[in-house]
Amino acid sequence: MNPSDVDDEAMESMVADALERLPEPFRERLGSVAIVIEDEADPAQLASVGARGLFGLYQGIPRTRLSADAAATPSKITIFRGPIVRASPDPDALADLVAETVYHEIAHHFGISDERLHELQGGGR
């Protein structure tokens, strides 16, 4: 698929669908996490996690690290349209990858590391 074939409205709809399928206890604890869609990760975003490419990125302080006296800091999840669309052979695969990416980044918000996610997914992705 070509990224220009998937407009903002279509991506936003897929992200919204993924969020609607999230169990309520998690949805209500997302609080003020901003979820944005960008075309590509910039060099600083890639460098922040030592990656060559990203489907998504969580930026913020995971809920497990917040303390009672900590000032609230905004958290942000960025979904990168270009890499996700290019990795998806068809619309169904695209919707699945968007949902998987949204859930992956939400897991980081709840303090789950990439290593733990890999374990939870049975060692494979």
Provide the CATH number for the domain around residue 96: 3.30.2010.20
Q: Is residue 25 in some structural domain?
A: yes
Q: What are the angstrom distances between the C-alpha of 14 and each of 9, 48, 72?
A: 9, 26, 28
Cα first-last separation, the chain: 21
**One digit per residue, pLDDT tens: the chain, 125 residues?**
888 889 989 999 999 999 999 988 888 888 778 999 999 999 999 999 999 999 999 998 876 655 555 556 678 999 999 999 999 999 999 999 999 999 999 999 888 888 887 787 676 44
Residue 55 lies in a domain: yes
pLDDT at 125: 42
* 75 within domain boundaries: yes
Q: What is the pLDDT of residue 118?
A: 76
Residue 72: the pLDDT is 60
Distance CA 5, CA 42 (A): 21
How many structural domains comprise the chain?
A: 1
pLDDT at 120: 74
Distances (CA, A) of 123 to 49, 50, 52: 21, 21, 21
Assess if residue 125 is contained within a domain.
no
Q: What are phi and psi of 3, to 5 degrees?
A: -55, -30
| Residue 86 domain-assigned (yes or no) | yes
The reply to whether 37 falls in a domain is: yes
Domain with 23, as residue range(s), is 3-62+71-120
